[in-house]
Amino acid sequence: MLGQEPAGTLPGETPIVARDTAARTGAPLILAALLFGGCASVSDVTGVATQQDLMEVRTELAVVQKSALMAKADAEAALAQIDKRQRERTAEDERRLQVLAQRLEGLSTGLTSLAGRLDDLNTRTEALGRQMRGATAVPAPLPPTATARPAAPAPAPAPVEATPGSRPSTNALQPQDIYQAAYIDFSKGSYPLAVAGFREFLRRYPDHPLAGAAQYWIGEAHFSLARGFTNAGQADKATEALEQAVQEFRKVQANFARSEKAATALYKEALALLDLKQPAVAQARLQYLVDNFPQAEEAPLARERLAALKPSDR
């Protein structure tokens, strides 16, 4: 009957058919709602992910740009450093070239000086050779005149004592003999013997024309001794010999100012002073030589030495 609830239903309960119908009708709606809600969620999630990726890309791009700028700055700094080192190296090379040029110039000056000294020594050797040949060419004394033999032997006369300062007329040493003997000792490298011989010559003949030369060779002997001590590594003895050489060379100027060895003694004194590390005193002696002996053979050598000393004094 119409209006009556179906059998098996409780009062106020929805009939089974109605619930089934409602279930069948509402399920698609619910499903559609769920699907629509799901699509919206997926879209939101996808949008958020895209923005995060974009931010990460931008961040990585910024990091890459920063790294590129830093790399560029480092490269520019490295190039600047390399350029600076290259300039410094070029300046150092130029400085070394200048030093080498100065050393070559000094060696050239030294060679010129040595050549001049060698020529001077050759000239002096030839002059001494001529003197030695002249000394050995002294004519032999004439034999004594023969006298008649007495019939009866006469008593021998009493021996006559030689007075001080008198010398026999035969077999007597001449001044040149003592001088030449000392010079031969010098030429053989027997410098102590040469010094003794020249001193003996000066003691006996202080006013002889060769006295100034004898005094010079005494200084030269001490100078040669100093060179030998230096080569042997005996610095103390070399210094003592150089100081003695300076004193002996100065005696030439003090006692024999007009000797032909005066200028040579001044030059050798300056060389000894340079070896003694006294460039200021050596320069003064060289200047004195140039001013007072401008025509001497040592004058050009003294000018070269002065030119070499002046840059070091400034």
| pLDDT single digits (tens) 125-142 | 555 555 554 444 333 333
- DSSP strand E in the chain: where? none
Closest by Cα among 224, 179, 181, 232 to 206: 179
Q: According to the model, what pLDDT value does residue 145 have?
A: 32
What's the longest Cα–Cα distance across the chain?
226
Q: Establish how many alpha carbons lie within 13 A of residue 24's alpha carbon, considering only the half-sphere containing its beta carbon.
A: 5
Q: Helix 262-275 to helix 211-231 angle, to the nearest 10 degrees?
A: 20
Split at pLDDT 50, 70, 90, the class of 187 is very high
Q: Other CB atoms closer than 10 Å to residue 243's CB: what's the count?
A: 15
In the numeric block, which tokens belong to residue 69?
């700028």
Topology at the third CATH level for domain 174-313: 1.25.40
Q: What is the mean pLDDT of residues 41-50?
A: 66
What distance in Å separates the CA atoms of residue 304 and residue 293, rounded to the nearest whole number? Answer: 15
Q: Is the pLDDT of residue 244 over 70?
A: yes
Q: According to the model, what pLDDT value does residue 112 have?
A: 53
pLDDT tens digit sequence for 259-309: 999 999 999 999 999 999 999 999 999 999 999 999 999 999 999 999 998
Q: According to the model, what pLDDT value does residue 153 have?
A: 36
Number of residues that this document lists for the chain: 314
Q: Is the pLDDT of residue 11 over 90?
A: no
> What residues contact 250, with CB distance under 8 A and at least 6 apart?
265, 269
Q: According to the model, what pLDDT value does residue 167 have?
A: 42
Q: According to the model, what pLDDT value does residue 126 have?
A: 54
Instruction: Specify the higher pLDDT residue, 152 or 134.
Output: 134
Q: According to the model, what pLDDT value does residue 143 have?
A: 34
Q: Is the pLDDT of residue 160 over 90?
A: no
Mean of the per-residue pLDDT values of the chain: 75
pLDDT tens digit sequence for 81-123: 888 888 888 888 887 877 776 676 656 555 555 555 555 555 5
CA-based Rg of the chain, rounded to a whole angstrom? Answer: 58
What distance in Å separates the CA atoms of residue 190 and residue 111, rounded to the nearest whole number? Answer: 28
Closest by Cα among 167, 179, 171, 168 to 140: 171
Q: Is the pLDDT of residue 201 over 60?
A: yes
Split at pLDDT 50, 70, 90, the class of 42 is low
What distance in Å separates the CA atoms of residue 2 and residue 68, rounded to the nearest whole number? Answer: 89
Q: According to the model, what pLDDT value does residue 106 have?
A: 58
Out of 153-167, 206-220, 264-278, pick the least confident.
153-167
Q: Other CB atoms closer than 10 Å to residue 143's CB: what's the count?
A: 6
What distance in Å separates the CA atoms of residue 277 and residue 282, rounded to the nearest whole number? Answer: 9
Closest by Cα among 299, 313, 239 to 264: 299
In the numeric block, which tokens belong to residue 262?
């005066």
Out of 70-79, 142-151, 240-249, pick the least confident.
142-151
pLDDT tens digit sequence for 51-75: 888 888 888 888 988 888 988 989 8
Domain boundary assignment for the chain: 14-104, 174-313
| Contact yes or no for 195/224 (Cβ under 8 A) | no
For residue 97, the Cα-to-chain-centroid distance in whole angstroms is: 13
| Contact yes or no for 226/245 (Cβ under 8 A) | yes
Split at pLDDT 50, 70, 90, the class of 48 is confident
Q: What is the mean pLDDT of residues 4-23?
A: 51
